[in-house]
Structure 1
Amino acid sequence: MKTVTLFLTFIVVLGLSLPSVRAQVDHLATTPKLPDHPRILLLKGEEEAIKRTVGTDKTWNKLHQAILTESDVLLEAAPLERIQIGRRLLDKSREALRRLFFLSYAWRMTHQDKYLKRAEKELLTLSAFSDWNPTHFLDVAEMTMAVAIGYDWLYKDLPDQSRSIIKEAILKKGIEPSLDSKYNSWLKASHNWNQVCNAGMTYGAMAIYEDQPELAKRIINRSIDSIVLPMGDYNPNGAYPEGYGYWGYGTSFNVMFLSAIEKALGTDFGLSTKPGFLQTAGFMENMTGPSSNAFNFSDSGLNGELQPAMFWFAQKQKNPSLLWVERSRLITSDARQHIKNRLLPAAILWSNSVGITTIKEPESTMWVGMGKTPVGLMRTSWSDPNAIYVAMKGGSASTNHAHMDIGSFIMEADGVRWAMDFGMQNYETLESKGVDLWNGKQNSQRWQVFRYNNFVHNTLTINDQLQRVEGKAPITGSSSKPSFMSVTTDLTDIYKESLARANRGIAIVNKDYVVVRDELETLPMETTVRWTMLTPATAKIVGENKIELSKDGKTLILQVQEPAIVTLKTWPTDPKHDYDAPNPGTTLVGFEVKLPANTKSAITVLLIPEKAVKKTNTNVQPLQQWPH
């Protein structure tokens, strides 16, 4: 009786959650039957190509050996426990994915029984969890992917009883909760949740396909229909709205999804040809500065990391130069530094046998992306560690995971990041103190978090007000001309109630120094403009219009060209509330100016590396005369 009740409940949930199932296009109708196990990412016999790759390239071999060495470490690790932190089980799900991807890879590459047994132990432990925390569905998605890879890759060698337990967990704790409307709002989202959750559910469906063929087809069809929503955000040319950190999350799982369905079904149903999607590899490559750190706007960390998905993009585009940053990470760092990356084996799977040392640097030193969060990313060289790198963003604070950082920029020269961004604060540190973090409305508590508002970003603050959440700033022009590489943005909508007009342009002049120019038009009232730049350097005011920044034995001059009279300032970055993260070793530098009512004004600031102090041209043209 209990079994019948559960079955009827499942049918009802399925009917309620998938009202369009019967009307859905059956994308799988004309595709071949799924291959036998292993069918996810790496088919039977494809290990041999991987072995040839790691056998002929020292860098790939080091990465391969690092995965095996870490798998040996995992042999002695206690299985994961279901310990939730706040509302998340996500750290356990991510570690499960790392462990099972590594151990399953080690088993398929070596067929050493120790890896099989340890992976089986982890699979059974995870299957015995009470649930995979469907109220925070990312946790379910990553756990389902983890267990699906392990189940599929070890399938032929798992005992029947273990198989039965694991596939039941995939069904009951992974797939079935995704059919419940309480948990599946991500199906209609256009951000990383959609990408991650659809990928996880598809992996689960593919893993147990022979046992649940109709359900599996529905899940895969549903994912193909749903994932087009976030993939639409790469339009028109690849800028990812949520920034570096979430590109590494959302886009990577999107690629995991595409790679899996194409491998098993022979097609990705045209998804990879969606406008901007393949071009997003250019966005990601250019988001890393010469320091190897990321342009960490919005909710992102500073430290860059190896991105396995980039190897998939390079293969798709037949363009190994997209791997210039990955090449650097693999060659200059110990392979063991990458072992915390839970998708690391995928880099080898997608390597396409590319020789790491043969990868050439990109031809272009500038990348401009439009869309929800437009960016301009420019540098003077890909191979010079002392190159100037400047990155600026437009967009809107209303975008998922956004900060009030519209018009903000970061800048590097001589191996130092002079103009920086705090990036994200750990969510749990805010949520645990009751901060209403996910309410993005204009007057919400989110914008009181120190790191999230415009007061500490490298942008303008007008009349001590927050930027407008609903405002949007487009990129209005750009030039890759080496003598004046530049990008401009229109900030008028961001300051709509405080200024009549606001435009910002940033340029690298003659590969020597940087210009930041703002052109403002005031309303019928006196207006106070605060210009700020966050820096990790030691700041010293050395004149009426100059601040000397010093770090790591290098110096940079911040010089205000106009207005002629300003009062330079530095501000501390001490937290304002008990929930704010500490910000040691950082300072805000800049100035405030009062602009008369109904006037047009320009603010021009030069950022001059020490070797270019005598090369500056103080005649900066109006923005409308900048090359486009």
Structure 2
Amino acid sequence: MKDITYRKISLALIAVISLALNVRAQTTIDTTKLRQHPRLLMLKKDEAQIKALLKQDTLWLNVHKSIITECEDMLTAKVQERIVTGRRLLSVSREALRRIFFLSYAWRITNEDKYLKRAEEEMLAVSSFTDWNPSHFLDVAEMSLAVAIGYDWLYNGLSPKSRTIISEAIITKGLEPSLNSKYNSWLQATNNWNQVCNTGLSYGAIAIYERNSSLAENILNRAITTIQKPMKEYAPDGGYKEGYSYWGYGTSFNVFFISAMEKLFGTDFGLKSQPGFMNTGTFYEFLTGPSGIPFNYSDAGGIEGLQPAMFWFANQLNDPSLLFVEKTYLQTKKFNAKSNRILPAAIIWAGTINISAAKPPVNKMWQGKGANQVAIMRTDWRRQKGIFVGFKGGSPSESHGHMDVGSFVADFEGNRWSADLGMEQYNSLESAGLSIWEMGQNSQRWDVFRYANFSHSTLTVNGHKQDVKGEAKITKSSDKPKFMYAVMDITPAYKEDLQKAERGVAIVNNEYMLISDEVETGSKECVIRWAMLTPAGVASIKDNELILKQNGKQMHLRVEGIEGVKLQSWSTAPPHSYDAANPGTVLVGFETKVKANSKKAFNVYLIPAGIKISKTTPALLSKW
């Protein structure tokens, strides 16, 4: 073990890091700060602040109690085993992170040795694995984070033998495999893989610094430089191209990384100045509708519950309004302690903001002009109130993308009327032999029902799939309450069949919703299917109007601009044995023929029962 009592990173090394980051070099970064454990995320002095918070605020005390309850269950659970599912050890790594993080937190706050002993057992168990599955490196990253936190936080309570076994596992099963080009292609990635892997390994490097300082410095310097690749994707306004669930993954780990750097070195190495990054909390907050359901485009799941990273952003920006949605989760005890493996971080990042006093954001519209563009509009921030619309552009070729260009979700008074089926479990598809990570036009990925445009609230032309390389962008928008809207040029998704396609989505007079489409055909006639996926039941269909019903409420869907149109419904039953079931959903809409070399414009209205439309909004998007 090297004596690092007076060791300091050299000026030359700092200059190299600073040059790469284009930030001003610091004179010294004193690594003697690394000498004492605990040194990751929650320092020794932070424990008193957390204990004080738990005494002062019952909302946070409830979170703490939920963690302790889970820890009690863990005491009698079977320790983790190396069980690979398909090509992944990831479920084991994630449960290891939940257990070790929770138990280590419990020991530090309660000083009860039963939590330390159980965490030690868990760490020794995973340290004995043959490897942490480097062929799927997310598994290694999450396991490294788990064991690093446990090793660092419990260091003074671990036996010397356990310290040796655990630190050796971090080095040989975590850090060293990341130096092998066979396993580290994620260093060039611009998605969550880069953020997760760099963070997990950096925590491992910091935890075992004394045992191998040169390896640790290599890992940290590499991470500070390469984690900028996915961070650049937040530009210009904070959007996250992979959507709701992967924001909770990649961004959370990115925050873990920055938080550790600031705790240890007193600097973020310029990372927070990356354009758009510090605005991304606003994007995430906007994604949740008044129904409580997220705008779950691409490979997104359901409600995530309390999101620890949001408290970090709110405190960094001193903006309590970023926590308006999180306040609801705290008040309703939606902590998801059985699945939220990073839940203790919420308490660590709670800061001094009075969560009960968090007011709703002022703005009611958000739009992203970066990769995978979306527009989000609402009339009210309160749960079960107002109208909420999420409108999707972008491209199917983006990471975890679907053929959902032009699709939309919609909430009215707490019910979701236009929906998205979201993600499908990867292992089930991979086990069926599908190659779902090839993103070409003829990839088997697009044979999956939930991935193609046939299941989304958008257009299908001549029964064809959307162009995988097509990218739709916002061309105009307005946040005025009387007519809040966004218009997208979705032509690139349909260039095989159409000369032009534009879609506008609007909330009118804070009362109803309008979807306006304009298409232009080329040398052949086109059959256009307009569809909306809905969890509502169909009460009646009559020519150009149908009535949907849900939870005692009704919604009228009306079509104007197409003579003789006949509304209908289509089943969402899975067409293949490998497709997931879609219970409680149906597609509604219509088909229309558009002659060759012609233009067509039509409107679809979503009107709650009891609302009367005084006049029709002009169909031509040029007049919006």
Range of TM-score over shorter length:
over 0.9
- Taking the TM superposition and a 5 Å limit, the aligned residue runs for 1:315-334 are 315-333=315-333
The answer to whether the 8 A contact 2:541-2:568 is kept is no
Unaligned ranges ≥5, structure 2 = 1-15
1:433 aligns with 2:470: no
| SS of residue in 2 equivalent to 1:567 | coil
The answer to whether the 8 A contact 1:40-1:260 is kept is yes
Provide the C-alpha distance between the structure 2 equivalents of 1:258 and 1:610, rounded to a whole number of angstroms.
49
Provide the C-alpha distance between the structure 2 equivalents of 1:619 and 1:162, rounded to a whole number of angstroms.
71
The answer to whether the 8 A contact 1:561-1:618 is kept is no
TM-fit CA distance, 1:334: 5.3
- Taking the TM superposition and a 5 Å limit, the aligned residue runs for 1:573-584 are 573-584=572-583
The answer to whether the 8 A contact 1:545-1:559 is kept is yes
Residues 29 and 90 (structure 1), Cα distance of their counterparts in 2 relative to 1, 3 Å cut: farther
* Residue 605 of structure 2: aligned partner: 606
The one-letter amino acid paired with 1:145 is L
The answer to whether the 8 A contact 2:188-2:229 is kept is yes
* Deviations, residues 44-100 of structure 1 (Å, cap 9, x unaligned): 221011111111111011111211221122111121111110000000000000111
Residues 22 and 388 (structure 1), Cα distance of their counterparts in 2 relative to 1, 3 Å cut: closer
* Residue 252 of structure 2: aligned partner: 252
Residues 274 and 200 (structure 1), Cα distance of their counterparts in 2 relative to 1, 3 Å cut: same
* Residue 32 of structure 1: aligned partner: 30
TM-fit CA distance, 1:24: 9.0
* Deviations, residues 226-254 of structure 1 (Å, cap 9, x unaligned): 11111111111011000101101111111
* Residue 619 of structure 1: aligned partner: 617
* Residue 46 of structure 2: aligned partner: 46
Unaligned ranges ≥5, structure 1 = 1-20
- Taking the TM superposition and a 5 Å limit, the aligned residue runs for 1:478-497 are 478-497=477-496
The one-letter amino acid paired with 2:589 is G
* Deviations, residues 196-241 of structure 1 (Å, cap 9, x unaligned): 0000010000000111111111101100111111111111101100
The answer to whether the 8 A contact 1:532-1:591 is kept is yes
* Deviations, residues 334-362 of structure 1 (Å, cap 9, x unaligned): 55x43420010000110113222111111
Provide the C-alpha distance between the structure 2 equivalents of 1:23 and 1:331, rounded to a whole number of angstroms.
43
Provide the C-alpha distance between the structure 1 equivalents of 2:383 and 2:579, rounded to a whole number of angstroms.
37
* Residue 293 of structure 1: aligned partner: 293
TM-fit CA distance, 1:616: 5.0
More displaced 10-residue stretch of structure 1: 171-180 or 24-33: 24-33
The one-letter amino acid paired with 1:450 is F
The answer to whether the 8 A contact 1:513-1:616 is kept is no
| SS of residue in 2 equivalent to 1:193 | helix
The answer to whether the 8 A contact 1:293-1:304 is kept is no
Residues 562 and 621 (structure 1), Cα distance of their counterparts in 2 relative to 1, 3 Å cut: closer
Provide the C-alpha distance between the structure 2 equivalents of 1:131 and 1:56, rounded to a whole number of angstroms.
44
* Residue 279 of structure 2: aligned partner: 279
| SS of residue in 2 equivalent to 1:611 | coil
| SS of residue in 1 equivalent to 2:43 | coil
The answer to whether the 8 A contact 2:376-2:389 is kept is yes
* Deviations, residues 573-614 of structure 1 (Å, cap 9, x unaligned): 1111111111111111000111111112112100011132x2
Provide the C-alpha distance between the structure 2 equivalents of 1:364 and 1:194, rounded to a whole number of angstroms.
32
* Residue 597 of structure 1: aligned partner: 596
Provide the C-alpha distance between the structure 2 equivalents of 1:450 and 1:544, rounded to a whole number of angstroms.
28
The one-letter amino acid paired with 1:341 is N
* Deviations, residues 300-341 of structure 1 (Å, cap 9, x unaligned): 112232111000111111101001111011102355x43420
Residues 419 and 501 (structure 1), Cα distance of their counterparts in 2 relative to 1, 3 Å cut: same
The one-letter amino acid paired with 1:30 is T
Q: Structure 1: which 4+ aligned runs deviate by more than 4 Å?
A: 21-29
* Residue 203 of structure 1: aligned partner: 203
* Residue 79 of structure 1: aligned partner: 79
The answer to whether the 8 A contact 1:299-1:402 is kept is yes
The one-letter amino acid paired with 1:164 is T
TM-fit CA distance, 1:28: 8.7
TM-fit CA distance, 1:463: 1.2
| SS of residue in 1 equivalent to 2:610 | helix
Provide the C-alpha distance between the structure 1 equivalents of 2:338 and 2:30, rounded to a whole number of angstroms.
36
* Residue 12 of structure 2: aligned partner: none
Provide the C-alpha distance between the structure 2 equivalents of 1:602 and 1:508, rounded to a whole number of angstroms.
19
TM-fit CA distance, 1:30: 2.9
Provide the C-alpha distance between the structure 1 equivalents of 2:383 and 2:231, rounded to a whole number of angstroms.
34
1:403 aligns with 2:407: no
The answer to whether the 8 A contact 1:295-1:302 is kept is no
Q: How many residues align?
A: 604
Residues 509 and 52 (structure 1), Cα distance of their counterparts in 2 relative to 1, 3 Å cut: same
The answer to whether the 8 A contact 1:28-1:221 is kept is no
The one-letter amino acid paired with 2:30 is P
The answer to whether the 8 A contact 2:241-2:398 is kept is yes
- What TM-score, normalized to structure 2? 0.95
* Residue 530 of structure 2: aligned partner: 531
* Residue 17 of structure 1: aligned partner: none
The answer to whether the 8 A contact 2:545-2:558 is kept is yes
* Deviations, residues 102-148 of structure 1 (Å, cap 9, x unaligned): 11111111111111111111111111111100000000000000000
